[in-house]
Amino acid sequence: MGKNAQTRLTETFNYLDKITAIPSGPYGKFKTAKKTDTAASGRISLGGGHRSTSTPAEKRETQRRHALRGLLLCMDWAGAQAKIPEAKTYCDKKSEATIKEAIQSFFPIKGKVAQDAIIQAKANKITIYGRGIDFKTLHTHSREAIESGKVKLGGACYESVCGWMYLAGITSLKWMMDNGGQPNHAVPPAWNWGQSTSSLDTAAQIPAGRIIRFIRGTGGLHYVISIGNGKCIGNHNTSEICEFWEDGYGPAPTRDGHTSEFSIAGYLATLQARNRATTTPSLRHAPIVPKEPY
Q: 10 Å Cβ neighbour count for 198?
A: 15
Provide CB contacts within 8 A for 214, sequence distance 6+: 221, 222, 223, 224, 267, 268, 271, 281, 282, 283
The whole-angstrom separation of Cα 137 and Cα 214 is 30
Mean pLDDT, residues 152-174: 92
Provide CB contacts within 8 A for 189, sequence distance 6+: 183
Residue type, 113: V
Question: In this structure, are residues 78 and 106 in contact, taking their beta carbons and an 8 Å threshold?
Answer: yes
Nearest CA-CA partner of 281 in 271, 273, 267: 271
Mean pLDDT, residues 70-74: 97
Residues 179-194: pLDDT tens digits?
998 998 999 999 999 9
How far, in whole angstroms, is CA 15 from its chain's centroid? 24
The whole-angstrom separation of Cα 55 and Cα 254 is 57
pTM of structure: 0.91
* pLDDT score for 233: 96
DSSP letter (8 states) at residue 17:
T
The percent of residues above 70 in pLDDT, for the chain, comes to 95
Question: In this structure, are residues 282 and 194 in contact, taking their beta carbons and an 8 Å threshold?
Answer: no
* pLDDT score for 133: 82
Residues 110-120: pLDDT tens digits?
999 999 999 99
| Per-residue confidence band for 218, with pLDDT thresholds at 50, 70 and 90 | low
Task: Tell me the helices (H) and strands (E) count for the chain, helix number first.
Answer: 13, 7
* pLDDT score for 49: 58
| Per-residue confidence band for 257, with pLDDT thresholds at 50, 70 and 90 | low
* pLDDT score for 65: 96
